[in-house]
Amino acid sequence: MKSQNPESSKIVGQTAATGFQVGVRRTMPITPEQAWAFLTSSEGAKLWLGDVANLTFSEGETFTSSDGISGQFRVVKPFRQFRLKWSMKDWEKPSTLQIRLISDKPDRTTISFHQENLDHMNTREQMKLHWEEVLNEIRQNVSMMERE
């Protein structure tokens, strides 16, 4: 997949210095506090970190899930942002994952996953599909919360 500029040989999602990147976001009918509460719940964390016991979501904390996802939290800003090193078990080097909660209305929050330092365009595509699925799962959970 080439970019729109025929002069450029740059591939979509490729950066000059940090390999490949991908971003996926969805707006949900919830507050940033509700989004944060879900992302940090055991059910929510399982979607983006895998099954990890006893997380405190604090800066410097490391984790390894039973699924082989590992990493370290670098920035934790409650109700706003996570920035962490994030890696699957067969990766040679970790990526950087940012999750942002963006809201300009009290009852709507955009949940944004942005991942960089990916090693290949195929990894980028794999992660794009992964984060879209995570956001679909979050949306389903949010819909169930609304009905309760």
Tens of pLDDT, residue by residue, the chain (148 residues): 444 444 456 676 666 666 899 999 999 999 999 999 999 999 999 999 999 989 999 999 999 999 899 999 999 999 999 999 999 999 999 999 999 999 999 899 999 999 999 999 999 999 999 999 999 999 999 877 766 5
Written as six digits, the tokens of 85 are: 């090193």
Q: What's the pLDDT at 19?
A: 82
Q: What's the pLDDT at 40?
A: 96
Helices assigned H by DSSP within the chain: 32-39, 42-49, 121-147
CB atoms within 10 A of CB 22: 23
pTM (predicted TM-score) = 0.87
- Specify whether the backbone of 146 is left (phi greater than 0), alpha (psi in -120 to 50) or beta: alpha
Q: What's the pLDDT at 83?
A: 98
Q: What's the pLDDT at 142?
A: 84
Q: What's the pLDDT at 23?
A: 96
Q: What's the pLDDT at 7?
A: 44
Q: What's the pLDDT at 22?
A: 96
Q: What's the pLDDT at 6?
A: 46
